[in-house]
Structure 1
Amino acid sequence: MPADLRARLAADADPKVRASLAQWWTTAPEPVRRLLLTDPDDSVRAGACATYFRRIPHPVPPADLVPELLADPVTRAGAVRHCTLDTATARRLAEDPNDEVREELAEHPDLPPALRDKLAKDPNLRVALRVFARQDTPEPTRAAIHARILSDVPPLDWLANHESLDDDTLERELLGEMARAELRSLRLSWVTADPLPYVDSPYVCFRASAAMSDQLPPPLVARLLDDEESSVRTTMALHSGDPIDPETAERIDRTYRPAKRVRWRPADDFPLPADVLRRLATDPDPRMRQLAPRDPDLPVELARRLAADPDHMVRRTIATHPRLPAEDLTRLLADPSESVAATAAANPNLPTTCMYQLVTRAGL
């Protein structure tokens, strides 16, 4: 969109349009950003000075506006990272009732040690987590925060029974769950820049951050490839300068345990050779049997065996294979699993007569 037309949206009558512009046009000229940062509507100012934007790079507000933005409750959290932090301002922000303001303060490079230690004990675990991630945090303080985050785990069925919880308890449990999720995915650039001291760290996120470095000698690479945590092993494999051998690649994929459900798996980045894929066709683990169809020349007898596999995910995977005989492919059209049947129907090698029958049955 031409910049001059886009700039007109900063004066649009609808504040939702102006707020969207503030969030998406992160490289807007300074006059436009000034209009948005001083907009009379709270939502527009909040969108223009936020802790998160829809695109990068995140904009930096003009220096002369920062004091005003810091004084405004709706822009305060977004302005913290841009302010010059004197002692009085830091103390005031440390007492702010807005959790997001304290989170941002906990990351500020000029945070006084006394306030850093205070925020380490903040009732909001996400605030404490940001102190945990600071390079200047004393190790005893870091260890205490880590233990607190991991020890404050609610019962497994807490979310299913959330209706029995009062609002404060529910909010605390949700924030704790978010802090634990952030801890699992935390990666620290300052650890990656100087990885050697953290290869044996007691914190998984530190070892994973170290594994992202390209400065590790082969013995340490090997150690991290054999780490007890799946995320560390996988991260090291993805950042290893040398190719991963098939045995290690298979082991890392076999033991891959993502923190949440994702489609990606290590074998996507570390393809296994045909002989390994054919061996996996009879593996006891159905998740590993799903890899066998990645061999384009998979023997027909193995393809037929996988088409009759008791696991529906294995059957669905083989249903796309070009070497699966038409007889077996046609049989999968009546599979008890709808996803298997749909995948078989989409295979271009399906006999034309079956294609016409499906189309006719659908009334097309």
Structure 2
Amino acid sequence: MKGSPLVVLFLTVFIDLLGFGIVLPLLPYYAEGFGAGPLAVTLLSSSYSLMQFLFAPVWGRLSDRVGRRPILVLSLAGSALSYLLFGLAGSLAALFATRLLAGVCAANISTAQAYIADVTTPETRAKGMGMIGAAFGLGFIFGPAVGGALSRYGYAVPAFFAAGLSLAALALALFRLPESLRRRIDNPGGAARGGFDLGRLWAALVHPRMGLLLLIFFCSVFAFANLEATFALFVERAARFGYTARETGYLFAYMGVLMSLMQGGLVGRLARRFGERRLVAAGTLMLAAGLGVVPLAPGLGGLMGALALLAFGVGMNTPSLSSLISRSAGADEQGGVLGVSQSMSSLARILGPAWGGFAFEQFGPASPYFTTAGLMGATFLVSLMLCRQAEGG
């Protein structure tokens, strides 16, 4: 009985995230049509992440009061509306409004996580939460490829297709997804989920091991979010590439496949052989190298090699850091630590694109990559401290 709602939830989340992936490679090209410069283009990504950051705890608290299913249904309806309006946008301001709405609705991931917690046992919860990670990975593979392929018909068509997908997910949630919450919580303040707690963040940062892990995690997400937001601008404007949304979508899908290969099986085997701390160091170094090579790539082959380094680096870093962060906290601190790491990720996804757009506009197309390559090089030195901590016991 528990498997059925989880399958329906997985399909619901996957279909919704597929819509996000479809829009990803189109956004810079679409915004440039309204006269947006690099900074404005990347602020579209930052605004989306900002709304996710602000509304994830709101949806979580509200779902404790009214149930998970109504929140998922409402947010999916909002996602469908945001994609429809995205396709109909007639100005840059309207485009920003659609991304703000999409970010509000995308904050439903906290509610999906709460749903999984409701219908799983402590022993099966990790597997259930892994379904959301799998949905993200598959959405990142298929979404950009579909968006790129449909972009030949104009940028509105992929957006309308994404709206249709959200409506399909809405129908699944309406007709096949049962309510998971057995007891409503009347005190929403006592049920906060994932809000930004400065005191808790500071306590985690000054923790000898936790602080290093969170610093590496923040820098890694910052650097990759910077790439996500600026990559289409770079391959469009570099004369040796001159790519459209179609080619950009295929390259994002290529990265998604490699990340999924790493996270789906390779990282577990590597962790057993070398240890998670060494994987973090290796992944961080690969991120630094990949970011540094992207602007130097002479052609498609070199670019794909750089993207492979990035994809494997992220695929190695993310699960290893998540595991180490979890193991650095006590059994009664897991929820708080999860909230802190989610907050760090959200802040990095707000600031990374903003920096990328600013650097691209002020210092040139290569600067977002060279600066974050330098950041990850410094982060690699921090990761070596983790390895020394392990050796020192």
For Structure 1 versus Structure 2, the TM-score category normalised by the shorter chain is under 0.3
TM-score of the two chains, using structure 2 as the length reference: 0.21
Larger Rg: 1
Highest relative contact order (Cα 8 Å, sep 6+), 1 or 2? 2
